[in-house]
Amino acid sequence: MKIFKSTFLVLTILMCFASCTESIDTSSRYVFKEHTVVSYLETHPVYSQFVDLLNQVPVSRRSRTTMYQLLSARGNYTVFAPTNDAIDKFLQKLADEDVIPAPSWESITDSVRLDSLRKVVVHNSVIDGEDLSEQIYYTNKFPEVNNGELSLPNMLDHKINISTIKGNDTIFINSDCPMDPRNYDIPVINGVIHQVHKVIAPDDITAARYLGFLIEKEKEGYLVLAKCLKACGLFDTLSVIRDEVYETLYQEGKIPDLKKYMSHGFTDASGNSNSDALSPEHRKYGFTIFAEPDSYWRSQGIDPHAPNVPELMQQWILDNNMYLSDDIYTIDADYRNPDNVLNQWATYHILPMRIEANKLVYHWNETGYVRSTKVPTIPVMEWYATMGKRRLIKLFESKESNGVFLNRFPNLNKERTGDGHENSCDRDKRGCLVLKESEEAVTSDMVNAIIYPIDAPLAYNVATRNNLGKERLRFDCFSLFPESMTNGIRRADSAQDKFNHVYIPTDKYYRYFSNMSIMSDDTHFIHFNGYNVSWENYDGDEDKWLGRYDVMFTLPPVPKRGTYELRYKVLATSARGVVQMYVGSDPHNLPVAGIPVDLTQSVQDLWGQTATIADTDDQDYNAEIDKKMRNNGYMKASQSVNSNSYKWERGNIVCSRRIIWRGTMDPNQTYYVRFKSVLDSDKKELYMDYMELCPKEVYDNPEEPEDLW
């Protein structure tokens, strides 16, 4: 939702360009008759101003090489080239806002500002696909979801947002920069060019600044939410952009990569023994905000312009039972108190990670899903802990739901012979539809957040808590780490090594994931993205720790107090090791959870049979086998995940779930799980795909046995 286009970025990005010796090797520049990016632009006068800027803008602060030289050389570039008219309009806008004296480059006498403005135009327009031709973005590679983002950032390290307006085939960049309907997908020998009729210059303000502007101007859209968040004292949190300590350490070379990671003992069928596992370049902060628009609050009798919106909202929350009435809460005017009902309501709308529209849930390896058609099949779900009091919010999508919902609890066909699909959904369990493709979504202006409108009120009340408490919670390992989402690490759509083999150094260098502690310096941790690889994994990706590893996670919160099982998915191979696990609430003194688990043992090894474990036609027999396995502390794997060799992961002998702990958990308590190698070898892996937290009323329900899915 474009409510304003300030020049905040222009005013804050001002920086000096330090000289350095970095240069681009042009010795292998193409000399064919076909055009490079630059030669094509030069033959078309409509781009003359852009070409001039390319000659004046360096590749980086550490480089003397110009963007003109870069785009003349070998590479794989996607260029959103602004026309002269687009640049003229950009300059006129700056002049109208008194950022520059007149609408011309010559009028800018401040050299720092001049360099900065030139960089805004040029670097926002170019995506460097590096050495992979598949990372050139023709329109057939644009996200199919409105407001979806291209996987690689532009040269200002910002994601490009793609959308179309209903009834209009024009493609828009960042919601308001139209691509020319005729001059796009222009192939050149080092990339592709798309003509745009407006300079790409997102505001790049923080969520706090954006919401603050709504309040200052009394501008509707999300004014009610903005006033509530400010009253709750959340603007300081929503103003952070990145971890500057990590930024400095990385730039000083104090954050190491793992050189030739395969030589350390890692196994990876998609890897290259000469490749390196690279550490993340940044540690950014991000937020995803699900919000009822002001139009909804007007329907509830609340005027967004009222001087006492927080007070009105607190009363609405109480009147409509939109709070957890049987838990601790306060109803005074101290909205900054985490126990205050307004604070609890507001923070439940925010995830501490930035999730782009095409990644709210992941479709990849679920039963029945065909990657070429991308049509949802059985339900896919994510459970995330919100800000404030850590409480779960569920993101859900299925073929039948027709969109991504929050806290949807449908009736599923989960009988032993069922197909796992939605049968129906009761009205009171429908949840909130995330209007991710709406023009009201704020997806590109904020540098650290996205706001998605929702079509129904969202709250963590007794009904929500009880519904969540009746579910088995399956969470992909990487979903535990907000930084993995915000920094584009999880499920990056790229074949680049820096996305496919991401090295997370030990805490000795820096603690990158706030929810994970690498407790041994002799630990190598790599996230394997699994891009376009058919692994036997829940979301396609996996994580591996190697060495004499010792690592601890923060577990997600549980909805209700009760008895839970913690389960760990095993994919047995000879490369795995033997791990001792610990579970508890005191991270400094976690109790041992059972005996060490040998991760090389398949179900066949555990079960002692040579026959396949695939289900037979005799469902009573199958149920009896499941019962005997559970009595021995393990289960077949999930039926909801596709398998390469079998119809389902459930029938694959190398895949299983180990019940590693059973005990009482409280929603107001934080719990941890620790994995420690018990072997002397530094060449054995700890493999991680997903874990489960399952309440007793699911796994020990005499009326409705736990489903296979």
pLDDT category, 100, cuts 50, 70, 90? very high
Q: Which of 270-284, 384-398, 559-573 has the lowest mean pLDDT?
A: 270-284
Residue 336 counted as domain residue: no
**Domain limit, last residue, from 150, 175, 196:** 196
Burial label, 205 (beta-carbon count in 10 A; 0-12, 13-18, 19+): buried
Residue 152 counted as domain residue: yes
Question: pTM for the whole thing?
Answer: 0.92
Segment 681-697 shows an average pLDDT of: 95
DSSP 101-147: SSSSGGG---HHHHHHHHHHHHHTTEEE-TT-GGGS--GGGS-SSTT
How many domains does the chain contain in total?
2
Residue 413 counted as domain residue: no
pLDDT category, 611, cuts 50, 70, 90? low
**Domain limit, last residue, from 167, 196, 225:** 196
Per-residue confidence (pLDDT) for residue 609, from 0 to 100: 64
Segment 126-147 shows an average pLDDT of: 92
pLDDT category, 589, cuts 50, 70, 90? very high
Beta bridge partners of 178: 172
pLDDT category, 612, cuts 50, 70, 90? low
Residue 25 counted as domain residue: yes
Residue 283 counted as domain residue: no
**CATH of residue 123:** 2.30.180.10
Please, are residues 388 and 348 in contact by the beta-carbon 8 Å criterion? Answer: yes
Domain containing residue 136: 8-196
Please, are residues 528 and 268 in contact by the beta-carbon 8 Å criterion? Answer: yes
Closest of 352, 271, 249, 288 to residue 527, by C-alpha: 271
Q: Percent of the chain, pLDDT > 70?
A: 93
Express each pLDDT in 167-222 by its tens digit: 677 899 998 999 999 999 999 999 999 999 999 998 889 999 999 999 999 999 99
Taken in order 669, 289, 438, 307, the sign of the CA dihedral is: positive
Tokens of 84: 């002269």
404-438: buried (b, 16+ CB within 10 Å) or exposed (e) per residue?
Answer: bbbbbbbebbbeeeeebbbeebeeebbbbbbbbbb
Segment 310-335 shows an average pLDDT of: 97
Per-residue confidence (pLDDT) for residue 28, from 0 to 100: 35
3-state SS of 165-200 is CCCCCCEEECCCEEECCCCCCEEECCEEEEEECCCC
Residue 139 in this model has a pLDDT that exceeds 60: yes
Segment 529-545 shows an average pLDDT of: 89
Per-residue confidence (pLDDT) for residue 688, from 0 to 100: 95
Per-residue confidence (pLDDT) for residue 13, from 0 to 100: 42
Per-residue confidence (pLDDT) for residue 10, from 0 to 100: 44
Per-residue confidence (pLDDT) for residue 430, from 0 to 100: 98
Please, are residues 71 and 51 in contact by the beta-carbon 8 Å criterion? Answer: no
Please, are residues 707 and 421 in contact by the beta-carbon 8 Å criterion? Answer: no
Per-residue confidence (pLDDT) for residue 2, from 0 to 100: 54
Residue 556 in this model has a pLDDT that exceeds 60: yes
Q: Give the CA angle between residues 153, 169, 205 to the nearest 5°.
A: 35
* Strands annotated E in 51-108: 77-82
Residue 295 counted as domain residue: no
Segment 390-411 shows an average pLDDT of: 97
Segment 629-635 shows an average pLDDT of: 93
Residue 400 counted as domain residue: no
Residue 626 counted as domain residue: yes
Tokens of 340: 């205050």
Per-residue confidence (pLDDT) for residue 64, from 0 to 100: 85
Residue 34 in this model has a pLDDT that exceeds 90: no
pLDDT category, 475, cuts 50, 70, 90? very high
pLDDT category, 465, cuts 50, 70, 90? very high
**Domain limit, last residue, from 172, 196, 220:** 196
Q: In what order do the strands lie in the sheet with 432-433?
A: 380-385, 392-397, 405-406, 432-433
Per-residue confidence (pLDDT) for residue 166, from 0 to 100: 63
Residue 532 in this model has a pLDDT that exceeds 90: no
When the pLDDT of each residue in the chain is averaged and rounded to a whole number, the result is: 91
CA 549 distance to own-chain centroid: 26
